[in-house]
Structure 1
Amino acid sequence: MSSFTETPTSDAASSTAASYVNFTSSTYKPIFGETEIAITASIMFPLFIFGIIGNVLTIVVIYRSPKLKSTFHYIILSICLSDLISAVLSPLYVYQRTWGFLSWDIPNFLCGIFWGGDNLTSVATSFHILLFAFFRFISLMYPHRFKRITSKHVKIILLVVWIISVGVGVVPFVIMFGVREIDRRFFIPARSWPSCTVYEERVPMMLMYSKIGYSLFFYIPMILITVLSLKIAWFIYSRKRKRREAMKKKPQKENSNELKQQNKEKGAILQLFLIVGSFALGYIPHTAYHIYVNTILPWTNSEIYFQWWFGQIEYITLRVSECLNPVFYNLASPKIRKETKTTIKQICGNPLSAASS
């Protein structure tokens, strides 16, 4: 692990640096070293590959299968698109935090694409999960009203979600973030930031966004999602108890139909809880980190080292959650699982036939 090297300063330099606490040597060494880079890369690149394969496969399965043309499957497809974008952008994060930390030597516009795209997918995923929970709630509590929702309605709603996500997710971050020269001679918190970061004059704006925006786009949706999920669970549990009593008085054939309906509802609630759990796994650490770095400024090597690893860990958990989503979709949905197996067999068994179909 590398460390900072502090040296005495001249009187002029000391007076200039007074407001910055300390003056250091012009040779700046990041707090992380090759070991930390190797650990990060060895975890992130397999997640990058798995995230692309898993989400592309799920998108293809839902898009191609006539049996998966439903409200919830359209939402899942859209979530997979968000996770796919995030997976494609993840190598930029690795570069930004490691090899490109001191100098962003690739095209500058990729810095804006990374920050804007990363926040876009975060906001979009949050809205999608809330939408998924809301529709699941309506489908159980008000089934007749839910039947009025057509595929056209769902597609329009998803389009609106993406437009809003671009407006509140991409635009502010493109304005606030970019490649900047950081004077690392002074022992100030900014010297520990990567070169692709928030513009100095936009720090107050980012601080405000992290407090207001993350509450509106993550924590409030998370609270609503939790409330809806608990209501759904309680509704299914209560109905299950009533059905159990009613089944004692019904013929065996009718009981068989009731059991099928109960299994269907179990799958629905399992799918919802897995998706919500994956969302919480990824986005609670993600938003907590961004609030932390914008409110607590590190001054010591240990604080800077902790903040760097906090950033690595929160992004890894985010990537893990996005990689788990396709797995959860298949675990909780027999329809998706069956269609996924069919698609894999077609691709592996006869690529030309799969392509033509």
Structure 2
Amino acid sequence: MDPTAPSVTNSTNGTTEETTGFPFSHEAAVFVACLLGIMAVFGILANTLTIVVITMSRKLRSVFSLFIISLCASDLASALVSPFFIYRRTWGFNFWMIPDFFCKFSWCIHMWTNYVTAIHIVCFAALRLCAIARPIQFREIKQHHAQICIAVIWFICFLAGGVPLAVMFGVEQDRDSGIVGKFPACAVLEDSLDDFKLYHYVAYPIFFFLPIILVTVISVAVGVFFYKRQKQKQESNLSSVKSVSQDLVTDSKNGLNKINKTKKKAENETFAILQLSLIVGSFLIGYLPFTIYQLYGYTVPPESPKDERNDWNFGISEYILLRFSECLNPIFYNLASKTMRDETKRVLNSFFCWCCRRKANR
């Protein structure tokens, strides 16, 4: 661990023990680094694959697909800077041995993409609600509208999240006293602590708590609309069956087309609800603990070694959940859409065939 860690005498038996100077054990650091490292690699590969699949497929081009691509880009950026956060929470906890730029850069990307993801989830849920409740108005939303909206979201979140964190965060190596000494070396600077407290009391409710509330309310509204529509369909089943039966008698092809269209529409609605539920569930798994920790950590700083261990456990747990939720997203995109699964298989098959041909030509 830290070679400069001091030796202390154990008052109970008079022996001298080496203290690590860290609120965690070497074994815990290795386990966390391996676990988060695996998640980072998976997140990079899975999100890159999802972006490639949607971009290359004509079947997947839609307003929703554009938001999914943007969400994957956000998760990909987070995965790319996650090694710096692994280092920050393990061997770089007390002494940040790499340039200060990487501390500022990683926090800038981290908070920027977190804001982007939170706003994207709200927009995605709102679009699903519009598609179910107001399908005619939803058809007026074109892909270029979505592109403009996505660009504005990224720009605003950069100004609100990326820039302030890059300014207020950095490496504080002299951490022997004060609140700064309770946190990792790469954290909020002591001179910016008061500004950050004000910032996170204003910004976090806007970009985290409000989206969580909105996403929950919108998801419930989508469920209510879906339930009402299903109930209406059940009530109109008799008339529909009679109508289709008549068509089958007079024109079997016309009747079968009606059955297939009704079945396909019901499947699409079910997949839409499933996709929204999975994405919202993943968002809450990752961002609710993260938001609570961010508000808790700088409001109730650890005062004792036990508090510091608890703070580290809480902080690393919420970060693991955040990374886990970002790994789940590409999986959920495929689980909720048969078209997405088919296109993913097609792209993977094309890639493996290309690799085999290249190997054979050597």
Query: Is the shorter-chain TM-score for this pair beyond 0.5, marking a shared fold?
Result: yes
Q: Which residue of 1 aligns with 2:252?
A: none
1:180–1:196: 8 Å Cα contact kept in structure 2? yes
Q: Which residue of 1 aligns with 2:14?
A: none
Query: 1:327 offset after TM fit, Å?
Result: 0.1
CA distance in 2, matches of 1:243, 1:119: 44
Alignment of 1:46 with 2:38, yes or no, is yes
1:31-53 Cα shifts (integer Å, max 9, x gaps): 22211111111211110110001
CA distance in 2, matches of 1:183, 1:100: 13
Alignment of 1:138 with 2:130, yes or no, is yes
- Match 1:242 to one of 220, 232, 237: 232
1:4–1:31: 8 Å Cα contact kept in structure 2? no
Q: Alignment partner of 1:170: what SS?
A: helix
Query: 1:6 offset after TM fit, Å?
Result: 7.3
Alignment of 1:233 with 2:223, yes or no, is yes
Aligned 1:188-199 pairs, distance under 5 A: 188-199=178-189
Alignment of 1:127 with 2:97, yes or no, is no
- Match 1:177 to one of 169, 179, 196: 169
Q: Which moved more, 1:94-103 or 1:113-122?
A: 94-103
Q: Which moved more, 1:129-138 or 1:96-105?
A: 96-105
Q: Alignment partner of 1:197: what SS?
A: strand
Q: Which residue of 1 aligns with 2:307?
A: 303
Query: 1:255 offset after TM fit, Å?
Result: 4.4
Name the count of aligned residue pairs. 333
- Percent sequence identity over matched residues? 38
Q: Which residue of 1 aligns with 2:190?
A: 200
CA distance in 1, matches of 2:355, 2:88: 38
1:312-337 Cα shifts (integer Å, max 9, x gaps): 11000000000000000000011111
CA distance in 2, matches of 1:57, 1:268: 21
CA distance in 2, matches of 1:174, 1:207: 15
CA distance in 1, matches of 2:218, 2:6: 49
Structure 1: give runs of 5+ residues left out of the alignment: 8-26
Amino acid at match of 2:198: M
2:94–2:173: 8 Å Cα contact kept in structure 1? no
Q: Which moved more, 1:272-281 or 1:243-252?
A: 243-252
- Match 2:200 to one of 188, 203, 210: 210
**Judging changes above 3 Å, is the alpha-carbon distance between structure 1 residues 4 and 235 closer, same or farther for their aligned structure 2 residues?**
farther
Q: Which residue of 2 aligns with 1:74?
A: 66
1:71–1:151: 8 Å Cα contact kept in structure 2? yes
Query: 1:136 offset after TM fit, Å?
Result: 1.0
Query: 1:239 offset after TM fit, Å?
Result: 0.7
Amino acid at match of 1:293: G
Q: Alignment partner of 2:227: what SS?
A: helix
Q: Which residue of 1 aligns with 2:334?
A: 330
